Chains A and B, each alone.
Chain A
Amino acid sequence: MRDRTTDGTSRVAAPGSTPGLEVARVRWSVAGRLIVDDVDCTAPPGAFTGLLGPNGSGKSSLLRLVAGITVPDAGTAAFAGTDLASVRRRERARRVAFVEQEAAAETPLRVLDAVLLGRIPHRSLLAGDTDADRHLAREALARVGMAEFADRSLATLSGGERQRVHVARALAQEPSLLLLDEPTNHLDVAAQLATMTLARKLAADGVTVLAALHDLNLAAAACDHVVMLDAGRVVAAGSVKEVLVPAVIEQVYGVRCDVLEHPATGRPVLAFS
């Protein structure tokens, strides 16, 4: 299986281009339980990579390790050729932004203020927001299609709108690598599709996007590249058509499926039986 992983990834990254995210032999355990087991994977630059796998397969943990929020027991995560562990925290926060699942504030917060938090790594901790910060924050809101919500209270937004605000906060960090942890959780189908479209758009703008995803069909429809985890290990990685095949799905999830072709996009559609 490991062989296939390396094959799949090396084919996607164009030779000679700057490398995207390269995770090498990352291992992490908590309370004696191995959660991430010697993971090698890549996310090509300027592409939308989906991190797939069942509950507890280590998707969120791997994202947190890449973001530097937890420290791996072994292994490295490098972006654009730089080991992220060797970069100072604040500097790393200017390159890598992480949107966790369901982050909630305990106090009432204006949408623009929430987005402005993303500017913190870019300025002295003693300094306040500048006009440039406010401009960038509004721009980030516009990129996620939430410009007119700037002065609303975060608490009055729907789940999908809040998710977009969190992405805008991450964009305000001006990252080259954007990590999304199950960004479509608890969203209705329209909001799910909108989130995936947004991720594709950001990737097209040059941001390397790595998202933990639950819904295989969403991943099949939107991702450029996917990595399949099971029990903390990479089972398969490569293009959607290479990874989302009945054999892999059955091995990882224990369910049978047929892979159809989407009549409009030609992308795979999984029909479970």
Chain B
Amino acid sequence: MPTTTTPTPAPTTAAAPARRRDPRAAVWVPAALVVLVASVVGSVMVGAADLGAADVGRTLVTHLGLGGLLGVEPLPALQDATIWELRMPRVLTAAAVGAGLAVCGVVMQALTRNPLADPYLLGLSSGASFGAVLVLGAGVALLLPLAAFVGALAALAAALLLARAMGVMTPTRIVLAGLAVSQLAAAATSFVVFWSAQGDAYRDILSWLMGSVARSTWTSVAIAGVAVLVVGGLLASTGSVLDAFTFGDTAAAGLGLDVQRTRWVLLVGVALLTGALVSVSGAIGFVGLTLPHAVRMLTGARHRLLLPLAGLFGASFLVWADTIARTVFAPRELPVGIVTAAIGAPVFAVLLWRGKAV
């Protein structure tokens, strides 16, 4: 007889803990994580210089200081720099930005109960763009992330103050206030571009306005990564709170939520995260709008699974979108925002057409 030292599984589910995980989560979340890791490694391999997964692994091991320990020789300097200084920061920034935008999109759509809501709803992207073109036009590109972040927060503050001034902060008022601030900031941006931009500055500005991760550095990874892990992680844990808003503010209040305070806190969280993302990548469109709808078709409307899955798939999506942006017309590059719009808009149209998304 075989000696079974391994504990046999509990005979019935009666002994299982009451707080059992959603069985779908046990499948989808690991699957989405695997897809993301594969996407990151795969995307680093793709490009003008021919690199394999082994090369990516060697570079990682080397830079993590494990080369001696594992007996791995570093790659030649050029290949190593291609992976470590060019592609890794770019791919990781894309992943962080994609994850953050998708999570913010879910939160905004739930909070405003508006299927057209996205992270830029409160004028964040327009405000960031205005901040960015001010410094780009002035030729001080170093200050760009800071200027964009400040611009985003200023737009948020203006939108929220305007929404407050209209009375109680209802979803409709938030949307309207965001629209007003957006339009004003967009007009100011156009004015600056029209007035001052010439030659290369013009292309820089346009590339930034469309959204691009081409200039990502490890600093970009740090900014976007920390923002996503901290703020994005917190937002992704608000599934039950967002669920409570399913039938609107009154229902949420009836379920024991402080509706105004909750909305305020979540909007500020979305603004901080989106501001940080926009500061490194510009305003990449359609990730925050389309990804939530697409993932919702997998998970249903409940948010506990939707939030993390949207984040993970958003990350993979933007990694591949950026891979397309830098390879399709190589050596010329597109701003990744063009690719996300080219994919996102038709997908959104299909979701609408199938009548399931909204």
Contacts and interface: CB of A to CB of B under 8 A. Distances in A.
Nearest to A96: B254
B113 interface: yes
Contacts of A117: 243-244, 246-247, 251, 255
A126 interface: yes
B137 interface: no
A103 B251 contact: yes
B302 A113 contact: yes
Interface residues of B, number: 37
A131 B246 CA distance: 21
A121 B256 CA distance: 6
Nearest to A125: B240
Contact of B255 (A93, A126, A127): A93
Interface string B238-264: 111101101110110111111000000
Contacts of A173: 255
B114 interface: yes
Contacts of B25: 128
A114 interface: yes
Contact of B300 (A68, A113, A131): A113
A106 B115 contact: yes
A130 B18 contact: yes
B357 to A, nearest CB: 8
A166 B109 CA distance: 22
Interface string B279-315: 0000000000000000010001110100000000000
Contact of A109 (B113, B301, B358): B301
Interface in A94-108: 94, 97-98, 100, 103-108
A118 interface: yes
Contacts of A90: 256
A90 B255 CA distance: 7
A69 interface: yes
B203 interface: no
A106 B115 CA distance: 7
Interface string A171-192: 0010000000000000000000
B50 interface: no
Contacts of A92: 256
A132 B18 contact: yes
B250 A89 contact: no
Contacts of B296: 107
Given A69-B250, A103-B247, A126 B237 contact: yes
A253 to B, nearest CB: 28
B215 interface: no
A114 B246 contact: yes
Given A107-B109, A110-B300, A113-B301, 18 more contacts: A89-B258, A93-B255, A93-B256, A100-B254, A103-B248, A105-B301, A106-B358, A107-B115, A107-B296, A107-B301, A117-B243, A117-B247, A118-B255, A120-B256, A126-B237, A126-B240, A128-B304, A131-B13
17 contacts: A64-B250, A90-B256, A93-B255, A97-B254, A100-B251, A103-B247, A106-B114, A109-B300, A110-B300, A113-B300, A113-B302, A117-B243, A120-B240, A120-B243, A129-B22, A131-B13, A166-B247
Closest 4 CB pairs of A and B: A93-B256, A90-B256, A103-B247, A107-B301
